Structure 1
Amino acid sequence: MNTYFGLIGAGGHGREVMPMLRGMLQDKIAELNAHLLFVVENLEQETQINGYRAISLQAFFELEGVKRFNVAIGDSKVRQRIAEACLARKIEPFSLVANSVTMLDNNEIGEGCMISEQTIITSNVRIGRFFQANNQCNISHDCVLGDYVTFAPGVKCNGNVAIGDHAYIGAGALIKQGRQGKPLLIGAGAVVGMGAVVVKDVEPNTTVVGNPARPMVK
């Protein structure tokens, strides 16, 4: 029986992480009769992207065989919508962790994570479902991250930080360490701008920028 690994999203991030999927499965491809696919939600005609078969989401749903999925889309609300559509059809997610990722002790990471090259997760970290960490992120001890959180490349999240669902942390952002029993809080739906230095709590659905990070003035 064929096993199809559908990477949903063929934009820049999807094309970057497909080699991670290939590396993760390289010793199991023959055993699983595995096929690696790009899945594009509203693709009108099957095509090839970077040498991989690319099909529409509906065509993926209709494939015969075992199907697994992950969602390589940065917009967390779209990621949730597509993930829930797959889960409703009893398609199981796979987690995607690069071979160069370092994970230490006693971490809990939810289903459907996507953790890219040279990221470090130290100890006693809890991360929710469908988390994305781009290249060279660092998540230190005792952090708690919600569902559908996104880290752009090079985020440094120091210890004792709590981040709500659907928060987006921009490239190169630095988050100051909180305290045991009083973590630094980044609220649900918050956006931390590229290169921002977060030294105090961020309210939900607020965008902060700069050093030190402050709410963006529109």
Structure 2
Amino acid sequence: MNFFEFIFQDWHVNKGNAKGRIILLFFRMANFCSTRKIYYYLGFIYLLFYKILVEWFFSTEIPWNVKIGKNLSLFHGQALVISNQVVIGHNCTLRQSTTIGNKQLANGGYSSSPVIGNYVDIGSNVCIIGPVTINDQVLIGSGAIVVKDVPPHSTVTGNPGVARPRKDINPDTL
């Protein structure tokens, strides 16, 4: 994948969403710089610019070294916090006021971060914390608190989040 394909890989799924496009364009450029050593040193000024613009002005914390698959759809982007150890698959959707990260352990250390599969739709005001795995084709409803693994083809609602099979998908036909 060349540079332009890499930085514009989320462009078409955010059609009509200028803020999401801008944030993800800046993220992909910073991610490109941070994942290639030579660009990291040359792109240090850009990484600083990214941190100030995206985190301080857009209030969206997407670390430049987080692993995110292609076609991420970002709605509103306000108050979004993602830990740098999170892994997000392809074709996922994130909404505002969502936190995805690790949790502090009793010994003062931190747990590992969530791994999110492909085709996961995360509603607003969701917290996904700790060493959890969200499998493929999961819907997470607004306000859910996810602290346990979620099986594929599920819908998660509530606090704590409870996973139920999705009614709009027949896993046997996939």
TM-score, normalisation: structure 1:
0.47
**Unaligned segments of structure 2, at least 5 residues:** 1-7, 37-53, 103-112, 168-174
After superposition, what is the alpha-carbon deviation per residue over 1:108-152, rounded to whole angstroms, capped at 9, x for unaligned?
A: 9xxxxxx99421123642111011233121110211111111111
Structure 2 counterpart of 1:167, from 120, 123, 134: 120
Gap change, CA 1:18 and 1:139, over 3 Å in 2: closer
Contact 2:69–2:90 (CA<8 Å) still a contact in 1? yes
**Equivalent position of 2:83 in the other structure:** 140
Contact 1:107–1:126 (CA<8 Å) still a contact in 2? no
**Equivalent position of 1:130 in the other structure:** 71
Q: Does 1:121 align with 2:62?
A: yes
Contact 2:101–2:129 (CA<8 Å) still a contact in 1? yes
Contact 1:119–1:133 (CA<8 Å) still a contact in 2? no
Q: Which has the higher strand share?
A: 1
Contact 2:151–2:163 (CA<8 Å) still a contact in 1? no
Partner SS for 1:96:
helix
Contact 1:132–1:151 (CA<8 Å) still a contact in 2? yes
Q: Which has the higher helix share?
A: 2
After superposition, what is the alpha-carbon deviation per residue over 1:55-78, rounded to whole angstroms, capped at 9, x for unaligned?
A: xxxxxxxxxxxxxxxxxxxxxxxx
Q: Does 1:96 align with 2:44?
A: no
The whole-number CA distance in structure 2 between the counterparts of 1:149 and 1:193 is 14
Q: Does 1:17 align with 2:18?
A: yes
Partner SS for 2:18:
helix
> How many residues align structurally?
123
Gap change, CA 1:164 and 1:142, over 3 Å in 2: same
**Unaligned segments of structure 1, at least 5 residues:** 25-94, 109-114, 179-183
Gap change, CA 1:210 and 1:19, over 3 Å in 2: closer
Partner SS for 1:215:
strand
The whole-number CA distance in structure 2 between the counterparts of 1:196 and 1:19 is 22
Q: Which runs of 4+ in 1 moved over 6 A?
A: none
Partner SS for 2:118:
coil
**Equivalent position of 2:105 in the other structure:** none
- Say what the alpha-carbon RMSD is for the aligned residues: 3.5
TM-score, normalisation: structure 2:
0.58
